[in-house]
C-alpha cells in the first residue's frame, strides 16, 4: 500500500504544490478542507472535511492510517500575533492524533535583522519582530512535543516562496507583473542577496525527507537552499525568462508607509522590510547527505513558470 499524506491547507498555494509532488511520487494524498469545499480539490486528492481544531474529528474523517501530515496553513500578516500559535498547534495536534510525521515549512524570520549572511541550521535564533518571535515559539512547541511525546516533526526552512501556485508571493508582486513593463521595483537594496524557494523544488525536498523519516530523529530541522538572488539578479533572470530587457528600480520606503494606512496587511508586513536589505542565504550540507542532490529549476525557468 502506498504511503499516505494528509495536506492541511490543500487549496492554498503551498499546499497545492506539496500535494502535487507527493502525488507524483506515488503517495496517496488527502486534503483537509472546510465543509463545502471538497469539490474544489482535484480528483486525485481525497477530501477530508472536518474542523481543523477538532483533531479527533479529523482522524474520524480521514478513516485510515496516515504516514505524514503537511502543515500548509497560514495566517494573514496582521493576525499573526493572535492566531499563528493556535493554528500551528492545531496542525501538530492532528499529526499527533494520527501518529504521523509532522512536516512544517519554516522561514528565516527566526534569525532577526542581525542575521549572518549564511544561515545554517546551527545559527541561533535572535528574532527582532513579532512574527519572528511567533515563529520561534511555534518551533519550540514542536520540539517539546517531539521530546516529551515522541511526535516526529521535520522542519524544512526556506526563503520566500514563489511558483505557479503561489499567487500572493513577493516574486509575483514585484517581478512577474513588473517584467511585462520592463521594470521591477525593489523594496530594499538592489544588490542584497535574498533567499527564495521555488515551490515545486521545495515540495520535492519534502517528499525526499518524508521518505527517509524512519532514519531521522524525533525533531529535525533542515535548510533548503533554493535560489539566492539580489533584485538585480532577478531582473537579469527575468530578462532571460521573458526575452526582453528588464530593469530594476528602488521603491521608496514611504510608499509602503502610505499603503499601510489603507491596508493592515501591508502595515503588518512593514516590520519584515529588513529582509530586503540584509544579505542572507540558506545552506545545509546535511540535507544532501540524507536525500542526495535534488534537481533545482533554473531561476529564469522558474520565473517564467510563476507568471
At 81 the pLDDT is 85
The pLDDT of residue 176 is above 70: no
| One-character DSSP codes across 256-298 | HHHHHHH-HHHHHHGGGGGGGTS--EE--HHHHHHH-PPP---
Q: Residue range 63-70: average pLDDT?
A: 96
- Confidence label for 125 from pLDDT (cuts 50, 70 and 90): very high
Report the share of the chain in percent with pLDDT over 70. 91
Judged by average pLDDT, the poorest of 37-41, 119-123, 215-219 is 37-41
pLDDT at 150 over 70: yes
Of 4 and 173, which is predicted with more confidence?
Answer: 4
Q: Which residue has the higher pLDDT, 203 or 187?
A: 203
Euclidean distance between CA atoms 39 and 35, whole angstroms: 10
Per-residue model confidence (pLDDT) at position 39:
85
Return the C-alpha cell found at 172.
509575483
pLDDT over 90 (residue 116): yes
Averaged over 187-199, what is the pLDDT?
A: 92
Residue found by looking up cell 524525533 in the block: 218
Average pLDDT of the residues in 173-198: 83
pLDDT at 188: 82
Which distant-in-sequence residues (6+ apart) come within 8 Å of 149 by Cβ? 96
pTM of the full structure: 0.94
Is residue 260 very low, low, confident or very high in pLDDT (cuts 50, 70, 90)?
Answer: very low
For 71-99, the pLDDT digits (tens) are 999 888 788 889 999 999 999 999 999 99
Mean residue pLDDT across the chain: 90
Rounded-to-integer distance, Cα 215 and Cα 301, Å: 34
pLDDT tens digits, residue range 228-254?
999 999 999 999 988 889 998 886 665
pLDDT at residue 89, rounded to an integer: 98
> Mean pLDDT, to the nearest integer, of 155-175?
83
9: phi > 0 → left, psi -120 to 50 → alpha, else beta; which? left
Amino acid at each position: 500500500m502506498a504511503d499516505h499524506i494528509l495536506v492541511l491547507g490543500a487549496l492554498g498555494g503551498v499546499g497545492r504544490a506539496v500535494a502535487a509532488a507527493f502525488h507524483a511520487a506515488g503517495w496517496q494524498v488527502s486534503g483537509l478542507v472546510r465543509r463545502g469545499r471538497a469539490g474544489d480539490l482535484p480528483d486525485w486528492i481525497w477530501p477530508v472535511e472536518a474542523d481543523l481544531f477538532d483533531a479527533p474529528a479529523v482522524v474520524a474523517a480521514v478513516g485510515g492510517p496516515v504516514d505524514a501530515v503537511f502543515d500548509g496553513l497560514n495566517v494573514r500578516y496582521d493576525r499573526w500575533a493572535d492566531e499563528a500559535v493556535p493554528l500551528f498547534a492545531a496542525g501538530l495536534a492532528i499529526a499527533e492524533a494520527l501518529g504521523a510525521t509532522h512536516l512544517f515549512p519554516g522561514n528565516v524570520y527566526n534569525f532577526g535583522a542581525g542575521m549572518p549572511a549564511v544561515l545554517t541550521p546551527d545559527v541561533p535564533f535572535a528574532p527582532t519582530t513579532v512574527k519572528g518571535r511567533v515563529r520561534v515559539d511555534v518551533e519550540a512547541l514542536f520540539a517539546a512535543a517531539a521530546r516529551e511525546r515522541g511526535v516526529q516533526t521535520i522542519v524544512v526552512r526556506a526563503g520566500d516562496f514563489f511558483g505557479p501556485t503561489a499567487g500572493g508571493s513577493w516574486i509575483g508582486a514585484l517581478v512577474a507583473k513588473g517584467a511585462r513593463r520592463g521594470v521591477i521595483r525593489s523594496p530594499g537594496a538592489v544588490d542584497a542577496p535574498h533567499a527564495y524557494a521555488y515551490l515545486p523544488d521545495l515540495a520535492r525536498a519534502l517528499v525526499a525527507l518524508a521518505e527517509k523519516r524512519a532514519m531521522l530523529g524525533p525533531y529535525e530541522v533542515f535548510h533548503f537552499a533554493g535560489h539566492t538572488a539580489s533584485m538585480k539578479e532577478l531582473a537579469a533572470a527575468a530578462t532571460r525568462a521573458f526575452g526582453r530587457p528588464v530593469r530594476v528600480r528602488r521603491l521608496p520606503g514611504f510608499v509602503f508607509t502610505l499603503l499601510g494606512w489603507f491596508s493592515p496587511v501591508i502595515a503588518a508586513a512593514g516590520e519584515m522590510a529588513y529582509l530586503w536589505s540584509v544579505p542572507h542565504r540558506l545552506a545545509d550540507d546535511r540535507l544532501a547527505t540524507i536525500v542526495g542532490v535534488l534537481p533545482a529549476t533554473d531561476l529564469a525557468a522558474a520565473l517564467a513558470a510563476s507568471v
